[in-house]
Amino acid sequence: MPDIVTEIIHKYNYWLYIILMMIGLYAMIAKNNLIKKLIGMNIFQTAIILFFISIGYKEDATIPIIVGGHGPEMSHQAIEAAQYMNPLPHVLMLTAIVVSVATLGVALALVIMVYQRYQTLEEDEIRMRVTQ
Amino acid sequence: MKLAGLIIVMICGGLLLTATQDFPAWGDPSSPASTHLSPHFITEALHETGAPNLVTAVLADYRGYDTMFETVVVFGAGLACILLLRTYTQRTRGREYRHIPTGIVIHIQDPNKAPKGQREFQLIDNMWVPHDLIIKTVCRILIPFIQIFGLYVVCHGDFSPGGGFQGGVIFGASLILLALSFDLRTFLEQMSEKALGLLCALGVVIYSGIGCMCILLGGNFLDYSQLAAVLPVDPGHVRALGMLGVEIGVGFSVMSVMAILYVNIASAGRHNQGL
């Protein structure tokens, strides 16, 4: 049993993002209201973002901006890869955040259209009115 | 449905949790993600691109294509929002306006006409709220500073945390604050729907235009080092300047799409009243 506990403590970032992701997935599957489904989708996306950012982290490293990288006192000392965090996950997640904003905007527009047509956002009521 | 969902979620979560055993530990410097490509970015990006902010260097230079189509995605989202929601049906009955200093309410038959001296009159919608001096004054003071900060974040994206997306969002947030604290009509007087659409497209045009300019100067698409022929700076700096131009394009697009999304979603496409 202590094995599992140390495992969780060493990899708590993965546990956190998986729990968050499953909350989002459950909301997308089980919730009846379309807005709640959208919130679930956003929680899911946030979990993925958290996962990638945690991959980029390194012990004893600073943010990926070169110290003394510009200006008159520009230093010419060698840059070691262990000094700076991995910039690639940050870049990927920057674009992912933008995509999540774009999808959320279009999704909200669609939800407004659905509401204007059926006067409700509950999924079972919408299904009832579609079959009528 | 709820039970089935719970079972699916449990199975998925269990599978993912068992998979974490193979994952590297938290903050491990020798994890696979930090050993293949990223050491090259960290050690060489400053010499190759001239931008100390590695995130911007990777975003706008190494992954320039990706970011260009990212901007197109943002543009597409704004376009989709307009196409889905925007309606041009006019209301037929007139509008009520309140004269703020005296409190007299007047009724105007023609829905397209507004009384003279716009600032003294306030439209009464069904979401009408009283004229609030404190909120309006505070926002009027704050908005210019927010916008200057947004411009700083865009322009300083090569050297410090920031860039086109972040600065564009800050600038867009200041526009949304204007629309929230005053009303949607005041906002659309400052920045018309047409201007927002044009700025949104202009951002994409700037980005792809810089890429095409690199082709015309004899290099590859988005190969900023070719811009040295037209920009009077030292060759080590030219790529950073190309990135700055690209980031400005991204900032335009993101800023106007934020505003377009807000305006259309808040008024359900009618553009007559916001939140």
The whole model's pTM is what? Answer: 0.85
Q: Do B77 and A105 touch (CB under 8 A)?
A: yes
* Residues on chain B touching A89 (C-beta within 8 angstroms): 33
* Rounded Cα distance, A83 and A79, in Å: 8
Contact A108, A75 (CB under 8 A): no
Q: Do A58 and B28 touch (CB under 8 A)?
A: yes
B8-24 average pLDDT score: 89
C-alpha to C-alpha distances, B236 to B85, B108, B240, nearest whole angstrom: 47, 63, 8
Q: Do A87 and B264 touch (CB under 8 A)?
A: no
Locate the DSSP E strands across chain A.
Answer: none
**The pLDDT of residue A76 is above 70:** no
* Rounded Cα distance, A104 and B75, in Å: 14
Lowest mean pLDDT among B25-34, B52-61, B114-123, B201-210: B114-123
Structure-block tokens of residue B177: 């604050």
**The pLDDT of residue A99 is above 70:** yes
With a CB-CB cutoff of 8 Å, which residues 50-79 of chain B face chain A?
Answer: 51-55, 57-59, 63, 66-67, 70, 73-74, 76-78
Instruction: Out of A60, A95, A103, name the one closest to residue B66 (CB).
Output: A95
B37 contact A CB<8A:
yes
Question: ipTM of this model?
Answer: 0.86
CA-only gyration radius of chain B, Å: 25
**The pLDDT of residue A85 is above 80:** yes
